[in-house]
Amino acid sequence: MDTAGKLLYRSVELAERSVELGEESVSIGKRMLEKQDETINEIKGLREDLKSYMEERFDRLEHEVMAIKARLGMV
């Protein structure tokens, strides 16, 4: 094989490797997006839990304040 043939062969090898790396990069990107979606869903779930908990606490505090005001004759 002459020099031009060797260069052409090497060029094809490098192009194939570039395609492989591109495909690997796309695969990694897809996995990152899946993990991102999982993380977002987990955070949303935690926010809902916290929201419910805080609503219950505020309701309880409001009732306690009303009871205290009633005993003090402020209502």
Taking CB atoms within 8 Å and a gap of at least 24, the contacts of 19-26 are: none
State residue 39's pLDDT score.
97
Answer whether 7's CB lies under 8 Å from 15's CB.
Answer: no
Ranges assigned E (strand) in the chain: none
Q: What is the pLDDT of residues 12-34, one digit of tens each?
A: 999 999 999 999 999 999 999 99
Answer whether 38's CB lies under 8 Å from 32's CB.
Answer: no
- Those residues whose C-beta lies under 8 Å from the C-beta of residue 9, and which sit 6 or more positions away, are 1
State residue 1's pLDDT score.
76
Q: What is the pLDDT of residues 18-75, one digit of tens each?
A: 999 999 999 999 999 999 999 999 999 999 999 999 999 999 999 999 999 999 998 7
- Those residues whose C-beta lies under 8 Å from the C-beta of residue 66, and which sit 6 or more positions away, are 75
